[in-house]
C-alpha cells in the first residue's frame, strides 16, 4: 500500500489532526480518505489510518482539464497556470499558435469558456478565467480600442447610432470600457447570444427632417418636392375631368337619366326614374313615326 500522505492515530480524528499538522494546512483545503477506522483488541489496539491529499485549486483543475482536452484533440499545447488571485490566468505554449487561436480568436475563446466552466465548479461566486497564447489578448484589446474610438467619432459626426459586429462578453466589455470616459457618446449591448453586439449612441442625435427626402432634387431634376415631369406636388390629387352630357336627340343620349316634368306625364332630360339603358322596341316603327310628315289639323267647322 502506498504510504505517502498516510497518517495514523488512535482514532480517525487523531489521525486527521496529525496529518493536518504535518502538512501545515487546514481541513477545508484537503481531501481525507479513511483507510482504517482502527479496532480495540483484548490485548492492544489497531491504529486508525487516513490518507490526506491536498485539494487542487480552481486554476489547477482547469489546467488539468486542458491537458486532457489537448491530448484528446491531438493538439501539441502545454497549458501553464500564470496566476489565480483576482482572476485565473492560463497561458498556452504551442509551436503552431495561430492554429490554436483560430480566426478572430474563435478557438481560444472556446477553450477559455470550457476552462472557466471547470474552474468554477462548486463555487458560489463566478471567478473569471483568461486563456492567452503568445500575447494574443493584449493585441486584440488594442485593436478593439482603436475600432471603438474610430466608430465613436463616426457616430458623433453623423449624429446617429453605429452598430458593431457581434462579439463575446469579454470583447464587448473592452468596447464599453474604451468609451466610458467619452462624454459625447454612450454604449449599450443589444441582441441575444451568441449574436449580441455593442451599439454606440451619440448624445446629440440628429432629428429626422422630412425635407431630407428631397435632398436629391438637384440630381434628378426635382424642385420643392415637385414631380420631375410635372408641377404637381407629391400627394396632390389630380383633378378628374368633368364629363359633358350629350345633346338631346343624339344617339349617345339614349342612356342618360331623365327628369320628370311636373307639368306633363312625360319625362324630361336630367331626372332619374330608376331606369337605365336604351329602349329595345321596333326600330322600323320608330323610324316610320319619325319620318312621317306632320299634318295640320282642320279648324273647327271646316271639312276634312
Express each pLDDT in 49-58 by its tens digit.
Answer: 888 888 888 9
Confidence of residue 3 (pLDDT cuts 50, 70, 90): low
Cβ atoms of 77 and 69 within 8 Å: the answer is: no
Question: Which pTM was predicted?
Answer: 0.55
How does strand 197-202 pair with strand 185-190? antiparallel
Q: Name residues whose C-beta falls within 8 Å of residue 77's C-beta, 6 or more positions apart in sequence.
A: 66, 70, 92, 93, 94, 100
* Residue 286 or 129, more confident: 129
Per-residue confidence (pLDDT) for residue 124, from 0 to 100 = 87
pLDDT digits (tens, 9 = 90+) for 184-223: 999 999 999 889 999 999 998 887 555 555 555 555 555 5
User: Measured on CA atoms in the order 16, 19, 25, 30, is the torsion positive or negative?
Assistant: negative
What gap in Å lies between CA 84 and CA 79, rounded to an integer? 14
DSSP, res 144:
H
Confidence of residue 276 (pLDDT cuts 50, 70, 90): very low
- For 273, counting Cβ atoms within 10 Å of its Cβ (0-12 exposed, 13-18 middle, 19+ buried), the class is exposed
- What's the rounded mean pLDDT across residues 244-260? 56
Lowest mean pLDDT among 24-28, 51-55, 212-216, 255-259: 255-259
Beta bridge partners of 94: 77
Per-residue confidence (pLDDT) for residue 160, from 0 to 100 = 93
Domains in the chain with CATH codes: 6-54 (no CATH), 58-134 (3.30.300.20), 137-202 (3.30.1370.50)
* Residue 7 or 287, more confident: 7
Provide φ and ψ at 189, rounded to 5°. Answer: -95, 140
Cβ atoms of 94 and 80 within 8 Å: the answer is: no
Question: What is the chain's alpha carbon radius of gyration, rounded to the nearest angstrom?
Answer: 49
Q: What percent of the chain has pLDDT over 70?
A: 65
Amino acid at each position: 500500500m502506498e504510504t505517502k500522505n498516510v497518517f495514523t492515530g488512535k482514532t480517525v480524528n487523531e489521525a486527521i489532526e496529525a496529518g493536518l499538522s504535518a502538512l501545515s494546512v487546514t481541513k477545508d483545503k484537503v481531501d481525507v480518505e479513511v483507510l482504517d477506522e482502527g479496532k480495540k483488541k483484548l490485548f492492544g489496539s489497531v491504529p486508525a489510518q487516513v490518507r490526506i491529499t491536498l485539494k487542487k485549486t480552481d486554476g489547477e483543475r482547469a489546467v488539468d482539464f486542458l491537458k486532457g482536452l489537448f491530448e484528446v484533440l491531438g493538439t501539441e499545447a502545454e497549458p501553464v497556470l500564470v496566476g489565480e488571485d483576482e482572476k485565473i490566468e492560463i497561458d498556452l505554449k504551442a509551436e503552431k499558435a495561430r492554429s490554436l487561436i483560430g480566426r478572430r480568436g474563435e478557438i481560444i475563446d472556446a477553450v477559455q469558456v470550457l476552462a472557466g466552466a471547470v474552474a468554477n465548479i462548486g463555487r458560489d461566486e463566478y471567478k473569471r478565467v483568461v486563456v492567452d497564447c503568445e500575447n494574443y489578448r493584449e493585441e486584440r484589446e488594442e485593436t478593439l480600442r482603436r475600432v471603438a474610438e474610430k466608430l465613436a467619432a463616426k457616430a458623433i459626426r453623423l449624429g446617429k447610432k453605429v452598430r458593431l459586429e457581434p462579439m463575446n462578453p469579454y470583447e464587448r466589455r473592452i468596447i464599453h470600457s474604451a468609451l466610458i470616459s467619452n462624454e459625447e457618446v454612450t454604449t449599450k449591448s443589444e441582441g441575444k447570444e451568441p449574436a449580441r453586439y455593442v451599439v454606440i449612441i451619440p448624445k446629440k442625435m440628429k432629428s429626422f427632417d422630412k425635407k431630407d427626402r428631397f435632398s436629391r432634387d438637384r440630381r434628378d431634376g426635382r424642385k420643392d418636392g415637385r414631380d420631375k415631369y410635372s408641377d404637381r406636388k407629391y400627394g396632390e390629387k389630380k383633378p378628374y375631368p368633368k364629363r359633358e352630357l350629350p345633346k338631346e336627340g343624339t344617339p349617345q343620349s339614349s342612356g342618360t337619366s331623365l327628369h320628370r316634368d311636373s307639368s306633363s306625364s312625360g319625362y324630361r332630360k336630367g331626372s332619374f326614374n330608376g331606369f337605365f339603358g336604351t329602349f329595345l322596341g321596333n326600330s322600323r316603327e320608330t323610324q316610320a313615326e319619325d319620318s312621317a310628315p306632320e299634318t295640320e289639323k282642320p279648324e273647327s267647322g271646316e271639312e276634312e
